[in-house]
Structure 1
């Protein structure tokens, strides 16, 4: 009898071993019993798995937005969860259930605004909210229990809106319209505060053409683009036709659409600015002498390493003048340089404005890492209220040659 019991116990144990093995194998070979989430092809891990309830899929706010590079914070006093990126602020008030994107209230899921869900200390939100906040396309694949997040591709509406933004920015800068100029920038832009004021260009009678706009990277609500801007004068006033190659980072904001986050000019060329295209014009002798005198006083101050004297040769935007003079003062401390104006030619003269084409050579006078060079510069020179000619600090360097 005891022998039978032992055999029976052994059989039960063997059966249990095979039973556990088959359960383990089944778990390995079948789909998981929870919703899996992917950002492009990378799976996102969560403390609390996404789930489906009431026809809406909820997923962890922190898990997704940290995967997107956001900083996620929680304020225990205010009960507010915040997601921060360089261009976007997402806030969830767990007291009121209000969710905002860059200050704009999110209430786009009918028939009533969505509410976050708190489980085990984790905030879960509808995937529709994730889509709106991040600019991602969100696909819910019910059959395989998968959420797939992918970066949206630009459509024609995006491209048209971006081009309109660039045109508005250029126009506002040309007209000296600070309000319109600032409106083209994201409020979180690191360069927005650099624009304390903006001065209209002297001759705004020019037209810009935006060409070859290329999307270098696209991440839903963020895009890096490059483009060419050709600016030509109308022929009535002096204007150096120019070609700028520009790179910009743009962000799609919840309020206001596409905005500029950062913008840099990679290169500028002046197609018609050469010795043949910059011919000397006739100027009354007294005015010619006065105009060239301030240009010569400027180079003399450079050679004397006299920042105070250099400052007196300029007249225009005070902040720009200070930046320019400070830059030269730093140069004086570091290097001993001789400046020589090889060419001084007045190429435009009308009323109280002149443009002077200068070829300026700069050579080190003692051993240093300074590179000798020759600059082709167009100085704008204006007569001030007291009748004295002075240089506008915003000059155009049209060509640089290493010597």
Structure 2
């Protein structure tokens, strides 16, 4: 479950006294709850029969004492380590036996802390869906704060899109569409809950993939309950990741499910283009993907300037245009013009089922790519830098 981390926007004040989340009652309905932000004991954690309280010594054994060669990823929260536990007893097992887990250990000096740790437990302890990562357990012992997840063998979508290497094969068009649909279904589950959940940090590094490239949304530390009653939004301090956050949220702190839809549009555009949302190594005018790409998305021929060259021959321009139109709708500046996530799911399902990938698709995209390249007066930089650790912006 390793993850590379993008630049974080200004964090919420650590002095807030509570947050809204949700639980599921015996009838399967969700309901609101409040919990302290800084856990002092396990009494602050919502009870769930589905997650285990691990001791620190158990997780030390499971990860071989948090050995450096067990590190799967680094982030604002801390480091993620690979470990092994017995499938039935959930006790530490020898490496190579039992089931593989990912153990996220809170860095006390990091940007993220107790609040996000507790939020993660109290959401994922209650929420269960095929497109959400499974939380197996946690550790709360002295100063130690850890989370234990199912292991995602294919890592993050971010790694597949942006890392280059002989061992990394570019994701195909069909896989990108499959992953997009899975991610949208995960958001639809959150948005459709009786007590609505706004994810608030949708990005490629939080989209994890199992061995069959099935999508699992991870990292729920920034999630919030949606508005209730006659309220149209939730007011919060701005948190999230630069490049993915919706413009109205950045300007006002007003959070809605349409904020997640905007972030989805950014990620879909990353998948179509193979470019990062923010990349300062690109030529001037191309640092911000959304700003650069938008003018190209409405024209079938100009769209080839945006499409990832590694996808050549795998799609028809008609399919690419439909996907680009969906991204453009999600990226509408005025949130009322964005589709809801159920509409996004429906469109992606239609793209999945489409028989529009004809035998002529290869020739069509190849010919158009040559034409598009000939029209371009400058070569686009193709460097894909390793992402930096998360940063806070005031």
TM range (shorter): under 0.3
Higher relative contact order (CA 8 A, sep 6+): 2
Structure holding more strand per residue: 1
Q: What's the TM-score, normalizing by structure 2? A: 0.23
Structure holding more helix per residue: 2
Q: What's the TM-score, normalizing by structure 1? A: 0.23
Which one has a bigger Cα radius of gyration? 1
